[in-house]
Structure 1
Amino acid sequence: MPLQICCETVTTLDYSHCSLEQVPKEIFTFEKTLEELYLDANQIEELPKQLFNCQSLHKLSLPDNDLTTLPASIANLINLRELDVSKNVVEEGISGCESLQDLLLSSNSLQQLPESIGLYFQLICVLKCL
């Protein structure tokens, strides 16, 4: 049974370890209610623009994928408090996301912390970035 038929309000989705190459489109059915999204350990290389319309999202977990960049439109996730992009190949840091409290960037291709990191007054943890 398709996910959108069985549930009207979904707040958490976990697609970890599913061998996905892209973010499943059915996620966007719940863009108004989705608060936590887990896409750990897949082969996702790129984040679709529609993902950044999920205004209720406060936790986005993407470790162990094949991401190379974090698009500037990630700043549209105004309620995002936790972001895990560890174990990817991200070369540049993040910008925007003023509500961010936890940022995990370990095991990426970052050479230094992004200059914008000082703008995150709410940021509590930046773990093993370099």
Structure 2
Amino acid sequence: MIIEPAVPTTLNPPAQFAGDVWLDPIALPHEPDQRMVVVTVRFAPGARTAWHSHELGQYVRVTQGVARFGGRDGSIIEVHPGQTLYTPPGEQHWHAAAPGVFMEHIAMVQSGDDPATTTTWLEHITDDEYNGS
């Protein structure tokens, strides 16, 4: 058994996020055949990801605040603490904190055969997409 060493919190890159979004790893692969990655992600009010998709899908468990998830069809789903959202493989989406509140979620993904293709990052969302207008 191993107690995982503390890893410093990192601020996510502006190429993939708008606003301040911090990342804290919970579980990262140790062995070549392990694929699960689990991280806590904290969003400042109104902060958001760019459009993206995950090769093998993603689970997100909201732990604090109110999360918004948007799809290419214009839908926006609000998710509250204790709820888990599943995004199927390849589905383009974004996540964000609702206006005026911080939001925290635990993101769970499996790395693809090529870790570089696990998440495909696309363009930033617009204010209209974030607001649902």
For this structure pair, what is the TM-score category when the shorter chain's length is used for normalisation?
A: under 0.3
Instruction: Return the structure number with greater relative CO, CA threshold 8 A, min gap 6.
Output: 2
Question: TM-score normalised to the size of structure 2?
Answer: 0.25
Q: TM-score, normalised by structure 1?
A: 0.25
**Richer in strand (by share):** 2
